[in-house]
Amino acid sequence: MNIYRTQYNKDLSEDYIGKEIRACGFVENIRDHGGVIFVDVRDETGMLQVVSNDDKMFEGLTKESAVTLKGTVRMRDEENFNPKISTGTIEVLASEFKVLGKANNELPFEIITSKNVNEEVRLKYRYLDLRNPKVHEVIKFRSEVIKFLRSKMDSLGFTEIQ
């Protein structure tokens, strides 16, 4: 069993309500609503809302920190449904939350807007740029094309020379 996750965020649905899960990813956003704290955790497949009444659980947490968590999936209140994301009807009530790698408070750019940043800065901080879902999608597509071409050329008897 994977100690960091039981499934990817995109695979979570209302079918998981009442079940305990493990998830991991990067902190996208932190919201404190007076005693109830919400943390959006992003993995390579999507977003997951994590909630806790324990303000100490998320103490010192910063955006883009790498985290892992354990908790129970539950239905969101209907007025809090988010149709923009696949997990918009559920949230995870955290029982454990661990920071695997804390990010600095001052990032050189916002991840979601990295495509609008100067290319030199993006290259310097490419590990952050790759967290942008659109950039990640392009890289994955490029990888699939190259894998297909290599496979096709290999099946035709070509030898790859580097």
Residues 13 and 71 in one domain: yes
Clarify whether residues 118 and 142 are in a common domain: yes
**Domains in the chain, number:** 2
The whole-number pLDDT of residue 162 equals 84
Lowest mean pLDDT among 5-14, 41-50, 81-90, 109-118: 109-118
The tokens describing 68, both together, are: 């892992």
What is the pairing mode between strands 46-52 and 37-43?
Answer: antiparallel
Amino acid code (one letter) for 25? G
Percent share of the chain, pLDDT over 90 = 64
| 106 is a domain residue | no
Give every CB contact of residue 84 below 8 A, 6+ residues apart in sequence: none
Mean of the per-residue pLDDT values of the chain: 92
* Boundaries of domain holding 128: 111-155
3-class SS of residue 162:
coil
| Distance of alpha carbon 11 from alpha carbon 7, whole angstroms | 6
Q: Residue 151, SS3?
A: helix
Taking the CA atoms of the chain, what radius of gyration do you get in angstroms? 19
Indicate which CATH number applies to the domain containing 91.
Answer: 2.40.50.140
- HSE at residue 77, side-chain half, CA atoms within 13 A, is 3
Is 56 in the same domain as 37? yes
- 85 and 142 fall within a common domain: no
Q: Is 14 within a domain?
A: yes
Residue 75: CA atoms inside 13 Å, Cβ hemisphere, count? 5
pTM of the model: 0.82
